[in-house]
């Protein structure tokens, strides 16, 4: 995820992670700092966003278009370095806003 964030940080794409940690942001921030991660991270300890987005397990990956629609979703490990994934995201970025 960090590599995806780094690859798209100068575009309109936003790559972020969502933590479900019930212990709050303090342990999440400590983990991020320990590993040198700079990716934006949100906290969803009550799983409100996860449920609203249909997340049934973690890790989960959601790709949301400019209009806020989930256009791709998957569970399990996800490789953002795959050329087809990067091409898909580039194609989404090339679409005009509605």
High-pLDDT (> 90) share of the chain, %: 48
Question: Which of residues 64 and 98 earns the better pLDDT score?
Answer: 64
Contact 62, 32 (CB under 8 A): no
- State the CATH class of domain 2-93: alpha beta
Q: What is the DSSP letter of 10?
A: T
Instruction: Give percent helix, percent strand, percent coil of the chain, each to the nearest 5.
Output: 35, 15, 45
- Burial of 13: CB neighbours in 10 Å, binned 0-12, 13-18, 19+: middle
Q: Which of 40, 38, 44, 39 is nearest to 58 (CA)?
A: 44
Q: What is the pLDDT of residues 19-47, one digit of tens each?
A: 999 999 999 999 999 999 999 999 999 99
Whether the full predicted model's pTM is greater than 0.85, yes or no, is no
Dihedral sign for Cα atoms in the order 76, 80, 86, 89: positive
């Amino acid at each position: 995820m960090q590599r995806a964030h780094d690859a798209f940080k100068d575009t309109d794409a936003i790559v972020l992670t969502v933590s479900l940690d019930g212990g709050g942001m303090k342990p999440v921030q400590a983990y991020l700092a320990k590993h040198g991660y700079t990716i934006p991270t949100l906290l969803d300890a009550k799983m409100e966003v996860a449920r609203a987005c249909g997340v049934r397990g973690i890790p989960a990956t959601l790709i949301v278009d400019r209009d806020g629609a989930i256009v791709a979703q998957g569970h399990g490990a996800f490789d953002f370095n795959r050329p087809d994934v990067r091409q898909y995201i580039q194609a989404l970025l090339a679409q005009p806003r509605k």
